[in-house]
Amino acid sequence: MSTFTKAFRPSEQEIERRYRNVRAAMERAGLDALVVSGSEYTGFEGAVRYLSGFHILHRYAYVVIPAGADPVAVFPREATWVGDHGESFLRQRELPAHCGDWMAGFLKDRAARRVGVYGMEYIMNVRDYRALAAAGFELVDFDEPFDHARAQKSDEEIASVRHSMEINKRGVLEVIKAYAPGRTEAELMAVAEHTFAAAGCSRSTMDMVQMGPAGSLRPQMVFPTRRLVSASDGMLYGLEIAGEGGHWVEYSRPLMPGGMDAITADMMAAHQEFHALVREHMKAGRTAEEVYRLCMKPIVDRGYRSGHVCGHSIGMTMIELPRIGEGSEFVLPENMVCSMHPHIMNEARTHSLYFQETYRVTASGGEPLSGTAIVAYDGTETALKPV
């Protein structure tokens, strides 16, 4: 284990804090047990790592938490030598041939009836879900309560978040510095990926691009190709990573070597106003919906459409609840971390602008963790622009 990984391995106090918060949520919901699932699907491994310290390399894994008893890490036997199970800080580890059957038997032996499941909507292995469902438990979707229980980050977690952001910023800057007409979309992405791999991110990266002609961007987020970029292209390398501490961040900025066309420039002005409002209004004590309504005003007033939600909680899972949007009455706590990224487009769907910034919720407003300005770059820069 590297020195850095040891430094960012959670302390006993941090582990106790996590379990205390999760068990309190279980008690409020009247659960006899909680099954927490994680998978190799990028960004969805984090809940298992949060509660066990194990970083999923391939396949899937679980943490089972009986009310009033010690948690158990459960790994598929076929993956015995896939990943280092010694990373786990949980003492009890099981490697059954069929995780679902084992978990069902384990919970039956403890007379569990009401069982929460984190990851029921997107993450859990279908075979294992079927085994739990067939065992007659009352299965409760626990995605939202679990994410709410871990929304407030500790000082240890914030240190890991800041480390991830420094890596992400380096990747973005290296793409800007590497830009030249005639290079391919994929070559430029490879520069960022080299930076991330060298910094120990492993496969904890989610990279995509938006491209467009003549200083614009199309709405679609796509994989980079071997297409040659031209001096007039608009480019957005959307980069999301987790460093060795396991905390995801999202950070990117538009690359417009030939400048922006009029519509894109207006969208950029809307983004700048949006992020200024996030810094002002993302305060502890406000609800997620209040932040959404206050901050989206410059975008809504211009008549632009949203491609998806403007932001969300982020942690050891890439997308955590709550979403920063309509209908969320979750009250933001201090030290919650949120990715904010309005994906806006015009009615004709010919133009779009999307880029990310990660914020820490404070008592006075949102702290942009990159410390950099909301601006576009032209490819001649050798440093990121500070706020």
Examine the pLDDT at 5 and tell me if it is beyond 60: no
Q: How far is residue 360 CA from its own chain's centroid? A: 14
Q: ∠ CA 60-62-67 to the nearest 5 degrees? A: 170
**How confident is the model over 37-48, as pLDDT tens digits?**
999 988 899 999
Q: Is 232 helix (H, G, I), strand (E, B) or coil?
A: coil
**How confident is the model over 44-67, as pLDDT tens digits?**
999 999 999 999 999 999 999 999
pLDDT at 179: 97
Examine the pLDDT at 260 and tell me if it is beyond 80: yes
- For residues 324 and 330, the answer to whether their CB atoms sit within 8 Å is no
Residue identified by tokens 């015995």 is 80
Give the Cα separation of 61 and 75 in Å (integer).
5
Length of the chain: 387
Q: Is 73 helix (H, G, I), strand (E, B) or coil?
A: strand
pLDDT at 6: 56
Amino acid, res. 37: S
Cα-Cα-Cα-Cα torsion 38, 55, 163, 24, nearest 10 degrees, comes to 50
DSSP code string of 260-326? --HHHHHHHHHHHHHHHHHHHH-BTTSBHHHHHHHHSHHHHHTTPEESS-SEEE-SSSSSEEEESST
DSSP H helices, 71-154, are 99-109, 126-134, 143-149
**How confident is the model over 69-102, as pLDDT tens digits?**
999 999 999 999 999 998 899 999 999 999 999 9
- The percentage of residues in the chain with a pLDDT greater than 90, rounded to a whole number, is 94
**How confident is the model over 323-367, as pLDDT tens digits?**
999 999 999 999 999 999 999 999 999 999 999 999 999 999 999
For the ranges 7-16, 26-35, 112-121, 252-261, the lowest mean pLDDT is seen at: 7-16
Examine the pLDDT at 318 and tell me if it is beyond 60: yes
Q: How far is residue 20 CA from its own chain's centroid? A: 23
Domains of the chain: 3-149 (3.40.350.10), 155-368 (3.90.230.10)
Give the Cα separation of 62 and 81 in Å (integer).
16
